Amino acid sequence: MTQALVSAEEPVIKLEKRDGVAIVTVNRPKNLNAINAQVMTELGRVFSDLEAATDVFGIILTGAGDKAFIAGADIAAMANLAPDAAREWGRGGQALLAGIERLPKPVIAAVNGYALGGGLEIAMACDFIVAAPEAKMGQPEVLLGVIPGFGGTQRLARLVGKAKAKQLCMTGEQITAQEGHRLGLVAEVVPRAELVARSEAILRKIHENGPVAVRLVKDVINHGVNMDLDSGCLLELDAFALCFSTQDQKEGMRAFLEKRKPRFVGR
């Protein structure tokens, strides 16, 4: 089913559910799905609802049309911001992206076209990116006299390394999906016609695994990447041990020994 979250005429966010997978589409194709305050508010609302939804185990985020995932922020809405207002805009964006990043369910960014500025920042807050060959990515904010404000400098550096992140953020250059894959920014490149289907297939593969273990993998990687190696390994060790208090661990190992598929319960 498809649900309009703003109005029947022109919803800025569309939500479709397919047997446990939620497909969230930013729907401003005439504006290349640019982010404005309404998009931010509705994205926050839908992700909050999906976190609580018992009928959803995974989420795909994509953009409407054949040109853009999200081609950045709505510059007309930003051009005359005073510094205090700009700080609040950035603070709101960072809070939204942190919420997506911390969501206990897997989130895939299906990047079907331009993912620039805030669009790439949103994609990087998802668990990973599956991109069409035509996709272009970048942080072009310096071309407008500003820098990324939704965490782009920080997430990009953690994904592609400090030197490449500096180059991309200082030059404003765009890279292809193939280059993003080579750098580790993109997990897979697939034909655009298969983008959502492939993302959905990945989520269903993840869903076959122990839900507690999947949540812990996400949590340990998200937190451990900011730690030194010894601290990160200790974090992993604590989570590994915690798994052995769960029904899923007992069922998973028993099923392996009995040569059958496990029946996980998420506890």
Q: Which residues are known catalytic residues?
A: 121, 141
Supply φ then ψ for residue 175, to 5 degrees.
Answer: -120, 155
| DSSP conformation letters of 95-148 | HHHHHHHH-SS-EEEEE-SEEETHHHHHHHHSSEEEE-TT-EEE--GGGGT---
Query: How many residues in total does the chain contain?
Result: 267
How many other C-beta atoms can be found within 10 angstroms of the C-beta atom of residue 23? 19
**CA of residue 126 relative to chain centroid, distance:** 2
DSSP-derived 3-state class of residue 211:
helix
CA distance 231 to 238: 11
CA dihedral sign of residues 228, 230, 231, 234:
positive
Residues with Cβ < 8 Å from 112, sequence gap 6 or more?
A: 62, 63, 66, 68, 69, 131, 132, 134, 135, 192, 195
Amino acid sitting at position 79:
A
Comparing CA positions, the residue from 96, 84, 83 lying closest to residue 36 is: 96
Bridge partner list, 68? 114
CA dist., res. 97 & res. 198, Å (int): 23
**DSSP, res 6:** S
- Contact predicate 106/214, CB 8 Å: yes
